[in-house]
């Protein structure tokens, strides 16, 4: 991995973490994280977009609910429907599948409202 991709990875991780989801009214469900991640993706060159896409797809399968549902929201906002379907399929195999799927639905609604709409 190059220094540039390490820097991009760190920036993306930061966008997931700050502001903290639920830390305030304006970011109750990660709305700001979603918007900033989509803006970041759109600002990248094709190589950067590919790297970010790989990271977001990977996070969509995370056991961390916040990371996975924000990732599904980002993927939906960017029109990556196959990756969204894969996340739902993976969630089906979890003990807490219903919780993950409900949060994915919330993430998709957020994307429709804050990014697509």
Show me where the domains of the chain are located. Answer: 3-116
- The sign of the CA dihedral 97, 73, 25, 12 is positive
Question: How much is the average pLDDT of 65-78?
Answer: 96
Question: How much is the average pLDDT of 65-73?
Answer: 96
CA separation, residue 1 to residues 39, 73, 75 (Å): 23, 27, 23
d(Cα 18, Cα 32) in Å, to the nearest integer? Answer: 9
For 17-45, what is each residue's pLDDT tens digit?
Answer: 999 998 888 888 899 999 999 999 999 99
d(Cα 64, Cα 91) in Å, to the nearest integer? Answer: 11
pLDDT of 60 > 80? The answer is yes
What's the mean per-residue pLDDT of the chain? 93
Contact of 37 with 16, CB cutoff 8 Å: yes
Q: pTM of the full predicted structure?
A: 0.92
Nearest of 109, 90, 85, 116 to residue 30 by alpha carbon: 109
């Amino acid at each position: 991995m190059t220094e540039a991709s390490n820097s991009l990875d760190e920036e993306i991780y930061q966008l997931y973490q700050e502001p903290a989801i639920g830390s305030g009214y304006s970011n109750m469900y990660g709305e700001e994280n979603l918007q900033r991640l989509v803006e970041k993706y759109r600002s990248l060159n094709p190589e950067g977009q590919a790297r970010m896409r790989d990271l977001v797809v990977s996070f969509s399968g995370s056991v961390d609910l916040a990371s996975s549902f924000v990732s599904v929201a980002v993927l939906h906002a960017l029109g990556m429907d196959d990756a969204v379907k894969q996340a739902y399929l993976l969630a089906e195999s979890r003990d807490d599948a219903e919780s993950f799927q409900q949060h994915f639905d919330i993430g998709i609604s957020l994307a429709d409202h804050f990014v697509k709409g």
